[in-house]
């Protein structure tokens, strides 16, 4: 379904990003596995992806760094001979009530989660524009739709990602490039495993489906949005949250 | 070939417009080109002339581009 396509996935060493990279690989796309620090995990993602018979290569990059992302995009396009799908998934958390949230905690989360997506889109923009085609998928969060106590930085960044998504969708629509956002709820990853037990329990109680989602649940949607079936969908925000934020 | 002639050729290649109707005063918008088209054209100009053009809202007419290119090459 995606044979011959190349996908770049940020934050692909673990969690949702890894699941997306592997699903894309399973569907035939070559994958550039972008990671911030965990090289061993990124390599493992690549090895698993190659198991599907596609090209996979790991690239280290701090997506909050404008210069690094520019070099990254150039390197990936050179290594793969093109780029068709961009998945902005890299994200960090620095939780705390606004009262105790340090300025640096706010800046860091905005830097990676929001500016990181901007940086990647900025540097792939001309490529997609000239190609007259491409898929951009930004991973937002239900926290960006509904807010979440203790996550002023994260929710702000994820809400910003939705505004970014809709703007890019409008700018590039006439060039055949779509841009959509996925808003996951509670998904079982390293990020949510660090949540205190009582927070997790309260979250489960609030989810109509009464269970956390799996990275796979998000990955399947990302594959759909990357494929032909989603050609006429742009500027959309799709929740994958078991009904949490409806 | 003057800068103007080269610019016109790139425009005609890009947009399939009539070269005889393009003057220094012709606006990109008059040729049915939107802001994204202008960005793409500027990239084509950069390649053709081997220069870097800073995109700005002031680039509206063929003459604006010709003058800018001539100034960077002078």
Q: Closest chain A residue to B42 measured between Cα atoms?
A: A126
The CATH number given to whatever domain includes residue A173 is 3.40.50.720
Residue B59's pLDDT band (cuts 50, 70, 90)? confident
In a domain, A244, yes or no: no
Q: Using an 8 Å Cβ cutoff, are A137 and A121 in contact?
A: no
ipTM of the modeled complex: 0.71
In a domain, A245, yes or no: no
Q: Which pLDDT score, from 0 to 100, does residue B53 have?
A: 84
Q: How far is CA A114 from the centre of its chain?
A: 11
Helix H or strand E encompassing B14: helix B3-15
**More confident call, A189 vs A181:** A181
Which one from A35, A125, A154, A232 is the annotated catalytic residue?
A154
Is pLDDT above 90 for B42?
no
CB contact (8 A) between residue A126 and residue B36: no
In a domain, A1, yes or no: no
Inter-chain Cβ pairs, chain A and chain B, closer than 8 A: 12
| Token output for A145 | 């739709």
Q: Using an 8 Å Cβ cutoff, are A167 and A225 in contact?
A: no
What distance in Å separates the CA atoms of residue A107 and residue A103, rounded to the nearest whole number?
6
| Token output for A43 | 């390599």
In degrees rounded to 5, what are phi and psi of residue B22?
-90, 125
- With beta carbons under 8 A apart, name residues in chain A contacting B34: 174
Q: Which of B36, B39, B43 sits opposite A174 (nearest CB)?
A: B36
Is pLDDT above 90 for A194?
no
- Give mean pLDDT, residues A45-67: 98
Region for A78 from its dihedrals, namely left if φ exceeds 0, alpha if ψ lies in -120 to 50, beta otherwise = alpha
> Known catalytic residue: A154?
yes
- The DSSP letter of residue A85 is E
- Residue A39: give the domain boundaries: 6-239
In a domain, A207, yes or no: yes
What distance in Å separates the CA atoms of residue A65 and residue B69, rounded to the nearest whole number?
32
Nearest chain A Cα distance for residue B35, angstroms:
10
B 32-71 residues inside an 8 A Cβ radius of A: 34, 36, 39-40, 43
Is pLDDT above 80 for A126?
yes
Helix then strand then coil, % of chain B, to nearest 5: 60, 5, 35
Residue B58's pLDDT band (cuts 50, 70, 90)? confident
- With beta carbons under 8 A apart, name residues in chain B contacting A175: 36
Is pLDDT above 70 for A45?
yes
Which one from B5, B13, B34, B70 is the annotated catalytic residue?
B34
Nearest chain B Cα distance for residue A100, angstroms:
42
CB atoms within 10 A of CB B33: 18
Q: Which pLDDT score, from 0 to 100, does residue A197 have?
A: 82
* Token pair 């690549």 in the structure block, residue: A46
CB contact (8 A) between residue A126 and residue B39: yes
Is pLDDT above 70 for B74?
no
Query: Considering chain B, what is the average pLDDT of its residues?
Result: 87
- Give mean pLDDT, residues A64-89: 98
Domain ranges of chain B: 3-73
Nearest to B45 by CA among B1, B2, B16, B3: B3
- pTM exceeds 0.95: no
What distance in Å separates the CA atoms of residue B35 and residue B46, rounded to the nearest whole number?
16
- With beta carbons under 8 A apart, name residues in chain A contacting B39: 126, 129
In a domain, A77, yes or no: yes
For the stretch A170-187, pLDDT in tens is 999 999 999 999 999 999
For the stretch A2-17, pLDDT in tens is 999 999 999 999 999 9
Nearest chain B Cα distance for residue A125, angstroms:
11
- With beta carbons under 8 A apart, name residues in chain A contacting B40: 129-130
Considering its fold, how many domains does chain A have in total?
A: 1
Q: CA-based angle A198:A217:A29, to the nearest 5?
A: 140
A 65-84 residues inside an 8 A Cβ radius of B: none
Q: How far is CA B56 from CA A51, A199, B47, B68, in A?
A: 47, 50, 18, 11
What lies within 8 Å, CB to CB, of A15 at 6+ separation is A187, A189, A190, A191, A215
Instruction: For chain B, say whether A175 makes contact (Cβ under 8 Å).
Output: yes
Residue A30's pLDDT band (cuts 50, 70, 90)? very high
| % of chain B surpassing 90 pLDDT | 30
| % of chain A surpassing 90 pLDDT | 93
Nearest chain B Cα distance for residue A129, angstroms:
8
Q: B3-73 falls under which CATH superfamily?
A: ACP-like (1.10.1200.10)
CB contact (8 A) between residue A129 and residue B34: no
Region for A71 from its dihedrals, namely left if φ exceeds 0, alpha if ψ lies in -120 to 50, beta otherwise = alpha
């Amino acid at each position: 379904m995606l044979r011959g396509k190349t996908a770049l996935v940020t934050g692909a060493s673990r969690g949702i990003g890894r699941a997306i990279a592997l699903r894309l690989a399973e569907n035939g796309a070559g994958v550039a596995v972008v990671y911030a620090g965990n090289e061993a995990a990124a390599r493992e993602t690549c090895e698993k992806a190659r198991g599907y018979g596609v090209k996979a290569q790991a690239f280290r990059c701090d997506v909050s760094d404008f210069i690094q992302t520019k070099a990254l995009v150039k390197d990936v396009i050179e290594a793969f001979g093109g780029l068709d799908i961009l998945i902005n998934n890299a994200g960090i958390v620095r939780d705390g009530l606004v009262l105790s949230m340090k300025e640096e905690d706010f800046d860091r989360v905005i830097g990676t989660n929001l500016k990181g997506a901007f940086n990647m889109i900025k540097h792939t923009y001309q490529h997609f524009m000239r190609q007259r085609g491409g898929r951009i998928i930004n991973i937002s969060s239900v926290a960006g739709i509904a807010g979440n106590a203790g996550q002023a930085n994260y929710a702000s960044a994820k809400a910003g990602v939705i505004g970014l998504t809709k703007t890019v969708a409008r700018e590039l629509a006439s060039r055949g490039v779509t841009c959509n956002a996925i808003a996951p709820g509670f998904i079982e990853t390293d990020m949510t495993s660090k949540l205190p037990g009582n927070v997790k329990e309260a979250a489960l109680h609030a989810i109509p489906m009464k269970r956390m989602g799996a990275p796979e649940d998000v990955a399947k949607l990302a594959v759909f949005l990357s494929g032909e079936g989603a050609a006429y969908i742009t500027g959309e925000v799709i929740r994958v949250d078991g009904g949490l934020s409806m | 070939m003057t800068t103007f002639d080269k610019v016109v050729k790139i425009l005609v290649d890009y947009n399939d417009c009539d070269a005889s109707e393009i003057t220094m005063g012709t606006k990109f918008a008059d040729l049915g080109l939107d802001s994204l088209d202008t960005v793409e054209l500027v990239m084509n100009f950069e390649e053709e002339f081997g220069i870097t053009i800073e995109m700005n809202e002031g680039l509206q007419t063929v003459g604006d581009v010709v003058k800018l290119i001539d100034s960077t090459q002078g």
